[in-house]
Amino acid sequence: MAAGGFCKLPNGTVVVALNLPYGSAAVRVLVHAQNRARALTRLRNLGLRAIYLRGNAAPPTPDEVTAVLHHPDGLIWRTAPADNGVMVNELWHPIRALLRRSAVVQ
């Protein structure tokens, strides 16, 4: 389960944003896909099995949409903002970097 949201783009595709737990912190993952179901399937195919999107509580910001649209894989992540809303000044990473880190952690 994850907090997140989505936005539909003018060309009919969607950008899905999810806040996922990662160790003692959380990460914000962005996925660009044809629809919400395909976006979640992309994450599940990478091994993130318990991913669901219920509601639209935390949709992607315009800056996040721009970032994911400019990435060749259309799948990026970075540390999620703190509970007080303060954003960490961190660049976006390709999803491969997160999966490599999680393999090291396990």
As a whole number of angstroms, the longest Cα–Cα distance in the chain is 40
- State the pLDDT at residue 17: 94
- State the pLDDT at residue 105: 45
Q: Domain extents for the chain? A: 3-105
Instruction: Give residue-wise pLDDT tens across range 62-89.
Output: 999 999 999 998 999 998 876 655 566 7
- State the pLDDT at residue 5: 93
Instruction: Give residue-wise pLDDT tens across range 53-64.
Output: 888 888 999 999
- State the pLDDT at residue 84: 55
pTM check: above 0.95: no
pLDDT higher than threshold 90 for residue 31: yes
30/98 Cα distance (integer angstroms): 12
> Which amino acid does the sequence have at 82?
A
Contact 19, 80 (CB under 8 A): yes
Contact 59, 39 (CB under 8 A): no
